[in-house]
């Protein structure tokens, strides 16, 4: 098998990269360890930055997003007895969109770029030469070799691409937070017009949504929490408490919970994002806690840089953009990593009373200062296109 760009991973980053390369006339082959059904149904991020929406529009993938997604002007920040709305459009002239990763994945699959699913034993070879290749076993049990000019790892935390960078050539930074998120999906209309981020002595809570009929909720829980300890009624009771049911007449509407999971909270960055003819993108190179809604947007921002770099490298034999990819991507990665850490530490509770007072002071400043609100808006909605 021969291709110009071998892409490992068929999540949004890998699929969008394949789509953009194909539009530019570059041959790309995508392989994926999971089934198409699994990849298409993964419940992940739901907030798209202004620049992400613009990228999808330019790629011809924004039609259903514009028709079925929800444009939000901002978010609500809350703590006991107080709720404040930050209007991003008024502050910086940019909005965000609510559109679940599952919906974006459907759009990418419908775009038609072929994927070889359910491969096993993927390994990367000769990455520092001009003739890299990938080996794997297909779903039928046949061993395959895929020769390429470039390999791109979009296979996340547990794929082989991250580990293909030699230990001596890589450096990692990471932080594990002392709490997790209990995330639930419920068949109930949202009780809010825009997301509510709530600080509460019992722990952080978030009211999000996926559509006009489906809501997404998160609760801060201790690391190591078992789902069995959180029956439906306990979840709804805690959400009502932390989100302020009854405050100023606001009511939380409950409904059937259709899925739940416990999400660990961590930050991770691996450098470099390029090793020879291997380029890393998305969760393969960086992970952020979901508080700042940066993960999916960062992955697609990587692809927005990488696609034209590979086109220039392979079509024009111009390596300038490819050589600068890692440095350019990491500037945004570290900015988003800081913002995600800042949002997380400001909104989640801990054991130190002094720190808790500082968090309240920070929330009060952000919601009462134009400068503070503008800084949050700039980071949350993302840079201008």
Number of helices and strands in the chain (H, E): 12, 20
Instruction: Find, among 271, 298, 272, the residue nearest to 283 by Cα.
Output: 298
Euclidean distance between CA atoms 65 and 367, whole angstroms = 30
Tokens representing 27? 């041959």
The Cα diameter of the chain in Å comes to 65
By annotation, the residues acting in catalysis are 72, 197, 290, 294, 380
Q: HEC states along 57-94?
A: HHCCCCHHHHHHCEEECEEEEEECCEEEEEEHHHHHCC
313 with 319: CB under 8 angstroms? yes
Instruction: Find, among 354, 346, 336, 344, the residue nearest to 177 by Cα.
Output: 344
Q: Please identify which residue in the block is written with the tokens 């109930």.
A: 188
Q: What is residue 264's three-state secondary structure? A: strand
């Amino acid at each position: 098998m021969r291709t110009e760009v071998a892409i490992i991973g068929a999540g949004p980053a890998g699929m969008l990269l394949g789509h953009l390369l194909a539009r530019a006339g570059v041959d790309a082959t995508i392989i994926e360890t999971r089934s198409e059904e699994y990849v298409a149904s993964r419940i992940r991020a739901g907030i798209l930055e202004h620049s992400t929406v613009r990228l999808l529009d330019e790629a011809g993938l924004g039609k259903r997003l514009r028709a079925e997604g929800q444009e939000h002007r901002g978010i609500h920040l809350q703590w006991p007895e107080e709720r404040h709305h930050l209007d991003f459009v008024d502050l910086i002239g940019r909005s965000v969109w609510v559109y679940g990763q599952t919906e974006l994945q459907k759009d990418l699959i419908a775009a038609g770029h072929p994927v070889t699913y359910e491969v096993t034993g993927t390994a990367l070879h000769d990455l520092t030469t001009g003739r890299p290749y990938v080996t794997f076993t297909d779903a039928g049990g046949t061993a395959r070799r895929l020769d390429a000019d470039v390999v791109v790892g979009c296979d996340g935390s547990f794929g082989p691409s991250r580990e293909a960078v030699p230990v001596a050539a890589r450096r990692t930074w990471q932080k594990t937070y002392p709490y997790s998120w209990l995330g639930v999906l419920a068949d109930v209309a949202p009780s809010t017009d825009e997301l509510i981020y709530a600080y509460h002595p019992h722990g952080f809570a978030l009211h999000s949504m996926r559509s006009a009929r489906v809501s997404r909720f998160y609760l801060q829980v201790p690391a190591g929490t078992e789902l069995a300890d959180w029956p439906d009624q306990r979840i709804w009771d805690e959400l009502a408490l932390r989100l302020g049911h009854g405050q100023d007449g606001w009511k939380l509407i409950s409904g059937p919970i259709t899925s739940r999971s416990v999400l660990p909270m961590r930050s991770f960055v691996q450098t470099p994002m390029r090793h020879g003819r291997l380029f890393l993108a998305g969760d393969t190179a960086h992970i952020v806690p979901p508080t700042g809604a940066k993960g999916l947007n960062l992955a697609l921002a990587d692809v927005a840089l990488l696609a034209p770099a590979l086109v220039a490298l392979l079509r024009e034999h111009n390596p300038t953009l490819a050589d600068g990819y890692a440095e350019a991507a990491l500037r945004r990665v570290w900015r988003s990593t800081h913002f995600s850490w800042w949002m997380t530490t400001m909104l989640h509770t801990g054991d130190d009373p002094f720190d808790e007072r500082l968090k309240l002071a920070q929330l009060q400043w952000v919601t009462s200062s134009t400068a503070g609100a503008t800084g949050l808006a700039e980071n949350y909605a993302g840079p201008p296109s």
